[in-house]
Amino acid sequence: MARAGERVGRALGTGLRSARLGARRAGAVGMALSRQAAARAEQELASRGISTEELPELIAQRATGMSRRELAKRSRKARRQWERKAARSRKQLAKNAVAARKELAARIDPSLRRRRRRWPWALLVLTGMVVAVAVAFSRRPEELPVAGEDDFAQRNTKARHRAERADVPTQADSPVDAPERSR
């Protein structure tokens, strides 16, 4: 029994080694066969007058009737159209999901139906009215006190007439005789 583990370990090691060597041989044989197949395919294409660079173009043309450039252009266009359609579908799906959730919530418990709050609108309207009143009051002209009859009867200041001022010429004075005014 003591040697049984050793024998099993040796057998396992030998088996792993032979599996690794077999895999290496199979890889080498596969590579050699693929080289032979590629050389044979190139010879066959050369006998028909086709180069390896022309081959993908010819395959695409025979399969679809279009060149590779036309196929690429058409596939880009188709991809863009598909992306637009997918975006529209996603948007519509989101709208439908929201509507379905609301409808389901209303069916499950009609009392939980969400009511719209109107106080923000009322607050906005009230603020607007306050601003309008403030603007109206700020633009009103100042009211002057009404003069009574006795306000005109009494005068404490002497009247100023044009003729009494020295710097203003009278009609009798000529412009040459008038004193020069400072400018």
Note the pLDDT of residue 49.
84
Note the pLDDT of residue 18.
92
pLDDT in tens, 44-58: 888 888 887 888 778
Show the CA angle centred on residue 95, arms to residues 90 and 97, nearest 5°: 90
Distance CA 64, CA 72 (A): 12
How much of the chain, in percent, has pLDDT values that exceed 90?
Answer: 29
Distance CA 7, CA 1 (A): 10
Cα torsion angle, 81, 82, 83, 86, sign: positive
Inform me whether the pLDDT recorded for 71 exceeds 60.
Answer: yes
H or E element at residue 21: helix 4-48
pLDDT in tens, 84-114: 999 999 999 999 999 999 888 888 887 766 6
Distance CA 119, CA 157 (A): 63
